[in-house]
């Protein structure tokens, strides 16, 4: 959740995704067991006109990945969600299929959308009624409808929505109104305003008994299909089912405008930057520097773990980290970096999120030679170019050891600032560069 540095409510740390995918829900206080089938429909056929971009916002890319993929993953990593139907416009079918394949989404079926939001959602629901042998989906007890451009929904809230939908027939997220709602006259003057405390904004996700929402759509009028947007209203009007409304967290916000894409990217960067792993050898200087980095980076709200070189290929620490600092003394040890890059590739660890790998080369020789050091590290540029194609960002930092305690402390602090900046910004332009700390 949020850090003490600001009031932004953050999504679940990506480092916890591995644990969530095992199906354990012990991390959710008072969690009830899901003993019924749940599926998701994601309408993603919008044109994104309000962003002012030529690409629909759900396909806009940041950190080498389209927005829709982040939203899909938010559901896919939850063990009790069985299927995700993504509904897209005809001209986006091939692109959506490519996204599913490229980022390894396993629970997704892509469906052709309609000319309006309600028609698209209905098409998504009808996918569960199809009986083609090669593409049949199991009809769920509960279906969750969510916007493709709300990527930060979390499991504990989805659990509340699903259980309320099972018990009540329908459920929906609400949030307090941020602004006062007013009515205007035809001449453009104030008519009246609503008392904000009495009203709420209807948000997503919304959950329904599948049969209830499906029957509501079967009975819909053409006017509903053409102009309606609120699914909760349909089940109330046509099925007499009054939804249970649940106040949702701040993370349910929707990417609507261009600046929202930058905000989403910033949140993900901040979340990825909360942890790091220092891979260190057994020599005294390497161990001491690793400890110093753990301390200084910790003052910047980063949790740092130290792992010996012999464990650098361990799947346990790799699966829960996206930032690695490899400390070497005197020798460049590019072979160790190559092994780490290979491990990331074999485990597909960098498919969803970019991995930052920083080589910190500590020179403890009495008379360090810049030319010799540069020659030893010359191969980092080629390795970085190869790694970047696999979404691995490799950087190099040179640090000369100094005996004066005060100067050494200042050098380590400067090194930590550079490392923290590289991890937070994840700038691909600087990969392969050798920086001096």
The predicted-structure confidence for 221-271, as pLDDT tens digits, reads as follows 999 999 988 999 999 999 999 999 999 998 899 999 989 999 999 999 999
Q: Where in the chain is the domain with CATH 3.40.50.360?
A: 273-436
Q: Are 149 and 66 in contact (CB under 8 A)?
A: no
If one compares 19 and 158, the residue with the highest pLDDT of the two is 158
Give yes or no for residue 289 having a pLDDT over 70.
Answer: yes
In 10 A of CB 188, how many CB atoms? 6
Write the DSSP symbol of residue 359: E
How do strand 200-209 and strand 170-176 relate by DSSP bridges? Answer: antiparallel
Lowest mean pLDDT: which of 17-21, 58-62, 123-127, 227-231? 17-21
Q: Alpha-carbon distance 290 to 276, whole Å?
A: 12
The candidate with the shortest Cα–Cα distance to 113, out of 146, 82, 91, 133, is 91
Query: 102 in helix, strand or coil?
Result: helix
- For 151-173, what is the mean pLDDT? 97
Q: If you average pLDDT over residues 24-49, what whole number do you get?
A: 71
pLDDT of residue 133: 58
Contact call for residues 221 and 237 (beta carbons, < 8 A): no
Dihedrals φ, ψ of 66, to 5°? -75, 150
Domain with CATH 3.90.550.10 in the chain: 14-268
Q: Are 107 and 83 in contact (CB under 8 A)?
A: yes
Cα–Cα distance measured from residue 205 to residue 356, given in angstroms and rounded to the nearest whole number:
33
Q: From CA 43, how far away is CA 48, in angstroms rounded?
A: 13
Q: Which two tokens stand for residue 38?
A: 């749940």
Distance of alpha carbon 65 from alpha carbon 403, whole angstroms: 45
Short-list 13, 385, 62, 409, CA closest to 417: 409
In the predicted model, is pLDDT for residue 322 greater than 70? yes
Residue 131 neighbours by CB distance under 10 Å: 7
Q: Which residue has the higher pLDDT, 111 or 403?
A: 111
Average of per-residue pLDDT across 175-184: 91
Cβ atoms of 351 and 104 closer than 8 Å: yes
Phi, psi (rounded to 5 degrees) for 58: -65, -20
Integer Cα distance of 321 and 16 in angstroms: 9
Phi-psi bin for 432: left (phi > 0), alpha (psi -120 to 50), beta?
Answer: left
Helices (H), 273-308: 284-298
Q: How far apart are CA 256 and CA 56, in angstroms?
A: 11
The pLDDT assigned to 215 comes to 98
User: Has domain 14-268 been given CATH number 3.90.870.10?
Assistant: no
What does the pLDDT average to over 202-218?
Answer: 97
The pLDDT of residue 154 is above 60: yes
* H or E segment and range at residue 52: none
Burial class from Cβ neighbours inside 10 Å (0-12, 13-18, 19+) for residue 187 reads exposed
20 has a pLDDT exceeding 80: no
> Where do we find the tokens 């191969």?
379
- 51 Cβ neighbours under 8 A, 6+ residues apart: 57, 60, 255, 256, 257, 258, 260, 261
CA atoms lying within 13 Å on the CB side of residue 227 = 3
Residue 27: pLDDT band by 50, 70, 90 thresholds?
Answer: very low
User: Please, what is the average pLDDT of the chain?
Assistant: 86
pLDDT at 285 over 90: no
Beta bridge partners of 185: none
Report DSSP state, residue 12.
Answer: P
CATH class of 273-436: alpha beta
Q: What is the mean pLDDT of residues 59-68?
A: 94
Among 24-38, 191-205, 219-233, 389-403, the minimum mean pLDDT is found in: 24-38
Phi and psi of 44, rounded to 5°? -135, 40
Would the pLDDT of 383 be above 80?
Answer: yes
Average pLDDT over residues 87-92: 95
Number of helical H runs and strand E runs in the chain: 15, 17
Q: Which residue has the higher pLDDT, 1 or 221?
A: 221
């Amino acid at each position: 959740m949020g850090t003490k540095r600001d009031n932004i409510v953050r999504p679940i740390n990506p480092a916890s995704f591995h644990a969530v995918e095992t199906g354990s829900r012990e991390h959710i206080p008072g969690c009830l067991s899901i003993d019924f089938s749940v599926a998701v429909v994601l309408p993603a056929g919008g044109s994104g006109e309000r962003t002012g971009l030529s690409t629909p916002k759900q396909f806009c890319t940041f950190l080498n990945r389209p927005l829709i993929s982040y939203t899909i993953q938010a559901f896919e990593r939850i063990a009790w969600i069985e299927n995700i139907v993504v509904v897209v416009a005809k001209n986006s079918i091939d692109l959506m299929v490519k996204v599913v394949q490229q980022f390894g989404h396993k629970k997704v079926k892509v469906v052709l959308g309609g000319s309006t939001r309600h028609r698209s959602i209905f098409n998504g629901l009808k996918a569960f009624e199809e009986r083609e042998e090669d593409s049949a989906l199991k009809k769920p007890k509960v279906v969750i409808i969510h916007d493709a451009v709300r990527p930060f929904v979390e499991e504990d809230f989805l659990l509340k929505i699903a259980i309320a939908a099972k018990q009540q027939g329908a459920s929906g997220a609400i949030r307090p109104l941020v602004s006062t709602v007013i009515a205007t006259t035809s001449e453009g003057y104030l008519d009246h305003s609503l008392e904000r405390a009495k009203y709420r904004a209807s948000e997503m996700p919304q959950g329904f008994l599948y049969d209830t929402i499906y029957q509501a759509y079967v009975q819909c009028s053409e006017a509903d299909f053409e102009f309606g947007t609120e699914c909760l209203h349909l089940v109330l009007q046509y099925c007499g089912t009054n939804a249970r409304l649940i106040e949702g967290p701040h993370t349910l916000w929707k990417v609507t405008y261009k600046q929202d894409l930058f905000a989403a990217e910033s949140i993900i960067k901040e979340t990825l930057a909360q942890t790091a792993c220092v891979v260190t050898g057994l020599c005294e200087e390497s161990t001491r520097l690793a400890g110093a980095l753990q301390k200084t980076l910790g003052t910047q709200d980063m949790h740092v773990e130290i792992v010996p070189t012999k464990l650098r290929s361990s799947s346990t620490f790799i699966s829960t980290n996206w930032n690695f600092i490899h400390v070497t003394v005197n020798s460049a040890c590019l072979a160790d970096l190559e092994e780490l890059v290979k491990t990331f590739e074999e485990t597909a660890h960098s498919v969803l999120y970019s991995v930052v790998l920083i080589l910190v080369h500590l020179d403890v020789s009495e008379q360090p030679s810049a030319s010799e050091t540069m020659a030893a590290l010359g191969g980092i540029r080629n390795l970085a170019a190869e790694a970047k194609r696999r979404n691995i960002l490799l950087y190099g930092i040179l640090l000369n050891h100094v005996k004066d305690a005060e100067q050494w402390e200042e050098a380590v602090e400067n090194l930590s600032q550079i490392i923290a900046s590289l991890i937070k910004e994840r700038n691909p332009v600087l990969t392969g560069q050798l920086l001096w700390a």
